Chains A and B, each alone.
Chain A
């Protein structure tokens, strides 16, 4: 069984982002970038399935600019076997990414495609579901537990009401929640070894996919700031303020 895992390079989750003064986006120059956190869970899960002897190959793929390749290299350092980097510059919408992934799936013929449930930059939560639609494959979104059975997966999904379990036939798409597993850190020897693992570079233009944006981002602005509050001295003062000032209890 072959597992394709899609990873995205995003501004690190610990960075407090800054909006550009001209309203054209957020500042990315000299800002720490990392793999989108739930994509790390997706890689970890694929590697664990391989380590359990239930998969034969884990291929990490990213779609994006030159530097996006760092995320594939990181995936290789934690256990992916080889990488694919589909190069494309500029703004990429989830629809375009899913069309590119569809082309790669046609070529690579994986049994499973994993990715994070949502990217923490655009917060779209679309790519996995869109890819499932394009391939007409089953989708298991927001996965917090995956059990591999014969030609099937049993997946526990985190939903607003609690948990839902579904069974999907392979081939299938799974989008991963942060609670799926604990991603491992890359050891230094594995980072060195990863440098020798192959990464295939493909130009998006060679895939015959129209990636031009359909959405116009007219403006990016800072959200309204909350006005600063006060510190209260003790619990009695807190309750008095809530009752008589804020009038919420």
Chain B
């Protein structure tokens, strides 16, 4: 039986992690079908049909799908599930919210946040904030799997032409009402997919000082991250949090400034290719994962860092 991929989108376009989830789905079985549930999502549906790994697209449209409410989405997928061996989506807030609601209805024990497909029924997943890896075999008839997007490369975005099939919408779940979404718009790269991430922690001491992080990020074309401590203290908004209960990032370069490196933070960034730590406490645990550690006062180091960057002829984008 084929694998059903749940596409994540914003009605206008696919969200980037759909491509990573598509890769994971295709590693489970080559026969990948993708379902897209939304409202006026023609363009996103077309994008989905162009992913070469997707063999068929199922499109479900209705006004009550506009805001991706799990209570509305789950019944659609449960109905489709009889034709599929696996249901797959990203382990980001979209998939985390939705998939267990599907799994419980199907009486399936979900496998969350996998980082590797070992075989169609066996997966590798991190536990304890990534301090251990568990190999898990699912014995359920239908398998519900969420995938860690940063552990799978995005699939090709074009070249395919899967047929698009309309599927009838389900009823509206009347006990949940969407009120509003406050998205932080930024011209910077998205945290989850950025090549460079510059993160600040409690050591920044204030939200105002976070502009030093912004300057470095602007210079490097980087996304901005933060430790939980910095978000809790109100220095920066929650969508920047990197760690066990925030986002997982795997950039080519991660620069941790004024971050001590609690295990919960390391869980979100220690797979980065190159890690830089700038901290005045030479004993800070962040140095244990840093490729390049600089023991220094960040308020002296950042201006010097900017100066040195300005001296470079070119900076990779």
Give, as a whole number of angstroms, the nearest-CB distance from B64 to chain A. Answer: 13
User: With A134-B104, A214-B139 in contact, is A17–B109 under 8 Å at CB?
Assistant: no
Contact B100 A125 (CB under 8 A): yes
* A132 at the binding interface (Cβ < 8 Å): yes
- Considering only CB atoms, which chain B residue lies closest to A126 in the complex? B100
Give the docked Cα–Cα distance between A157 and B183 (Å): 12
User: With A158-B93, A219-B134, A242-B253 in contact, is A230–B126 under 8 Å at CB?
Assistant: no
| Chain B 205-241 near chain A by CB (<8 Å), digits 1 or 0 | 0000000000000001000000010011000011100
| Chain B 64-99 near chain A by CB (<8 Å), digits 1 or 0 | 000001110010000000000000000111101111
* A203 at the binding interface (Cβ < 8 Å): no
Task: For A213, list chain B residues within 8 Å (CB).
Answer: 109
Contact B232 A179 (CB under 8 A): yes
* A53 at the binding interface (Cβ < 8 Å): no
* B173 at the binding interface (Cβ < 8 Å): yes
User: With A139-B101, A165-B179 in contact, is A95–B315 under 8 Å at CB?
Assistant: no
Q: For chain B residues 249-273, which have a beta carbon within 8 Å of chain A?
A: 252-253, 263-264, 270, 273
| Stretch binding the partner chain, chosen from B38-46, B49-57, B110-118, B155-163 | B110-118
User: With A94-B100, A123-B128, A126-B100 in contact, is A232–B292 under 8 Å at CB?
Assistant: yes
* B32 at the binding interface (Cβ < 8 Å): no
* A220 at the binding interface (Cβ < 8 Å): yes
Give the docked Cα–Cα distance between A183 and B270 (Å): 29
User: With A129-B104, A133-B104, A162-B238 in contact, is A122–B308 under 8 Å at CB?
Assistant: no
B127 touches which of A117, A122, A132, A179 (Cβ 8 Å): A122
Task: For B91, list chain A residues within 8 Å (CB).
Answer: 125
Task: For B134, list chain A residues within 8 Å (CB).
Answer: 217, 219-220
* A114 at the binding interface (Cβ < 8 Å): no
Q: Tell me the interface secondary structure of chain A in the complex.
A: mixed
| Stretch binding the partner chain, chosen from A73-81, A189-197, A233-241 | A233-241
Give the docked Cα–Cα distance between A133 and B91 (Å): 18
Give, as a whole number of angstroms, the nearest-CB distance from A111 to chain B. Answer: 13
Contact B239 A239 (CB under 8 A): no
* A202 at the binding interface (Cβ < 8 Å): no
Task: For A235, list chain B residues within 8 Å (CB).
Answer: 294, 296, 301, 304-305, 307-308
Number of A interface residues at 8 Å Cβ cutoff, please give it.
Answer: 80
Task: For B184, list chain A residues within 8 Å (CB).
Answer: 161-162
| Stretch binding the partner chain, chosen from A44-52, A59-67, A166-174 | A166-174
Contact B309 A249 (CB under 8 A): yes
| Chain B 110-149 near chain A by CB (<8 Å), digits 1 or 0 | 1111000000001000111111111111111000000000
Give, as a whole number of angstroms, the nearest-CB distance from A7 to chain B. Answer: 17
Task: For B177, list chain A residues within 8 Å (CB).
Answer: 166-168
Task: For A142, list chain B residues within 8 Å (CB).
Answer: 93, 96-97
Contact B109 A95 (CB under 8 A): yes
Give the docked Cα–Cα distance between A123 and B184 (Å): 27
Give the docked Cα–Cα distance between A54 and B38 (Å): 36
| Chain A 111-132 near chain B by CB (<8 Å), digits 1 or 0 | 0000001101111111111111
A249 touches which of B126, B135, B220, B275 (Cβ 8 Å): B220
Contact A241 B292 (CB under 8 A): yes
Give, as a whole number of angstroms, the nearest-CB distance from A110 to chain B. Answer: 16
Contact A232 B294 (CB under 8 A): yes
User: With A38-B245, A120-B128 in contact, is A159–B93 under 8 Å at CB?
Assistant: yes
A246 touches which of B107, B126, B232, B291 (Cβ 8 Å): B291
B136 touches which of A179, A217, A236, A249 (Cβ 8 Å): A217
Give, as a whole number of angstroms, the nearest-CB distance from A152 to chain B. Answer: 9
* A208 at the binding interface (Cβ < 8 Å): no
Can you sample 19 A-B contacts with CB below 8 Å? A93-B109, A94-B100, A121-B127, A122-B127, A124-B110, A125-B112, A129-B96, A138-B176, A159-B93, A164-B178, A167-B177, A214-B139, A222-B131, A229-B289, A232-B292, A235-B294, A242-B274, A242-B276, A246-B291
Extra inter-chain contacts (11) besides given A158-B239, A179-B231, A249-B315, CB under 8 Å: A16-B263, A126-B100, A129-B98, A130-B104, A139-B176, A220-B127, A222-B131, A228-B288, A231-B282, A232-B294, A235-B296
Residues of B at under 8 Å CB distance from A? 69-71, 74, 91-94, 96-105, 107-113, 122, 126-140, 173-184, 192, 196, 220, 228, 231-232, 237-239, 244-245, 247, 252-253, 263-264, 270, 273-276, 282, 287-296, 301, 304-305, 307-309, 312, 315-316
